[in-house]
Amino acid sequence: MIQYNRFILDNGLTVLVHEDNATPMAVVNVLYDVGARDENPSKTGFAHLFEHLMFGGSIHIPDYDEPLQRAGGDNNAYTTHDLTNYYCQLPAQNIETAFWLESDRMLSLAFSEKSLAVQKKVVCEEFKEHYLNKPYGDVWHKMRELAYTVHPYRWMTIGKELSHVENAHIDDVKAFFFKHYRPVNAILVVAGNVKTDQVKQLAEKWFGPIEMGEKYIRCLAKEPVQQEARKLSIEAAVPLDAFIKTWHMDARLEKGYYAADLLTEILGGGGSSRLYQTLVKEQKLFSNLDCHHFGSTDAGLVTIEGKLVKGVSMEQAENGVAEIINAIKQNHVSDNELIKVKNKTESIIAFEDMSIMSRASSLAMYELLGDANLMNTELEKYQQVTPADLHEYSKQIFRESNSNTIYYHAKQ
């Protein structure tokens, strides 16, 4: 059970405090309700580029990192399709430094042309390092475009193409900031060796005077139910053939999410999972094989991806996967198999909750979903899933017409 206190400032900023005096440290986590899904299709990659610009100086403070490091702190940030999260950890004595820094960059960035020019280059190198200069680096660009026809999960958080990042203009930066980076669209979580009263006073002092801004109302195109299987063949200079297949699943707050999560564990979580044991170990069709989903807020994708053993044909590999999928659609999973993945879930949650950093970001994420207390009821929701639920849900999602397949061929 993670304890916390919640209050909301007059300008709409939600503040959560999680006290833990066993640690000498404090974490200040600021989550903004904006991600790659909120981007203009012709200016993709912007939410992530923006995350870089948040370190390029704010209106009163030329450098974010330097004072934080001087206070013995460290920080980082990440951008997903759904949100952008900034966090710093520092000795609890120096927590006001984090309030000062975070509130100034919420007040306004410096909007430096130099920072924009440099960070465009840095992000282009990040793009190259992770997606262009790696074998199979483009597979998720292709899969997203195949699986989503209208929903903005169509593109990667890094952006659809380098040119979108390269063409970003300082006016875009300003407009994006004042639309999304307002108190009313943010959640502040403070965790560690702090007291709620102290946080309240600091939050009022530093964040209170910032103008509320306008609540961002998201209205994204809902991905229509897929009616027909989609398939794509690619040939590239890679050493091995690869097979990637996805099925649309429920959104984060829908009931099917928990079933989908447990199904991915049964299928692909660990050395005793069905896909690994049957297709890697027994039939030797794949040299590695994973089953996962991204935990996205809007409807996501259950994914199976792996590399084929040399000499195995794409058809053999595909049939192998199909057999495993059919089995889970036809028969209930055993009680023991279900207990196994529930035990694993219990353990994952316990290990995640060890650090204050992770507790802080989970609280922020659940608060964004609607209520921080969801963090405390999560395990119960998994516990309630029955073999019959899994059976029903596999029949619902693992339909061929709901699937997208990429055959990634190694160029001979």
Among residue numbers 344 through 383, which ones bind another protein (CB under 8 A)?
Answer: 344-348, 350-351, 353-356
Q: Give the CB-side neighbour count of residue 20, counting CA atoms within 13 A.
A: 22
Kindly tell me which of 152 and 269 has the beta carbon lying closer to another protein. 269
At residue 47, what is the residue type?
Answer: A
- The DSSP result for 5-69, as a single string, is EEEE-TTS-EEEEEE-TTSSEEEEEEEES--GGGS-TTSTTHHHHHHHHTTS-BSS-S-SHHHHH
Per CB under 8 A, the segment of 39-47, 217-225, 338-346, 400-408 that binds another protein is 338-346
**Least Å distance between CB 193 and another protein?**
10
**Least Å distance between CB 224 and another protein?**
36
User: Under rule CB under 8 A, which residues in 286-315 are in contact with another protein?
Assistant: 287-288, 307, 309-310
Kindly tell me which of 58 and 403 has the beta carbon lying closer to another protein. 58
Assess 104 for contact with another protein (CB under 8 A). Answer: yes
* CA 64 to mean position of chain CA atoms: 24
Binding residue (CB under 8 A) for another protein from 149, 163, 167, 272: 272
Between the alpha carbon of residue 52 and those of residues 109, 151, 200, the distances in Å are 12, 25, 29
Kindly tell me which of 226 and 277 has the beta carbon lying closer to another protein. 277
**Least Å distance between CB 400 and another protein?**
29
User: Under rule CB under 8 A, which residues in 109-148 are in contact with another protein?
Assistant: 117-126, 128-129, 132-136
User: Under rule CB under 8 A, which residues in 187-206 are in contact with another protein?
Assistant: 205-206
Residues whose CB falls within 8 Å of the CB of residue 302, separated by 6 or more in sequence, listed in order: 246, 247, 249, 260, 263, 264, 291, 292, 293, 397
User: Under rule CB under 8 A, which residues in 388-407 are in contact with another protein?
Assistant: none
User: Under rule CB under 8 A, which residues in 1-20 are in contact with another protein?
Assistant: 20
Site string (237-266) toward another protein, x via CB under 8 A: xxxx--------------------------
Q: For residues 90 and 26, is the Cβ–Cβ distance under 8 A?
A: yes
Between the alpha carbon of residue 104 and those of residues 8, 33, 147, 244, 286, the distances in Å are 19, 18, 40, 44, 52
DSSP β-ladder status, 242-248 and 301-308: antiparallel
User: Under rule CB under 8 A, which residues in 41-100 are in contact with another protein?
Assistant: 59-61, 65-67, 69-74, 89-91, 93-94, 96-97, 99-100
Kindly tell me which of 40 and 69 has the beta carbon lying closer to another protein. 69
Kindly tell me which of 3 and 42 has the beta carbon lying closer to another protein. 3
**Least Å distance between CB 365 and another protein?**
19
**Least Å distance between CB 347 and another protein?**
3
Would you state the structure tokens that stand for residue 98, as one six-digit string?
A: 């984090």
- CA Rg, the chain, in Å? 23
Kindly tell me which of 185 and 345 has the beta carbon lying closer to another protein. 345
Round to whole Å and give the CA distance between 142 and 405: 10
**Least Å distance between CB 36 and another protein?**
18
Placement of tokens 């935990």 in the chain: 295
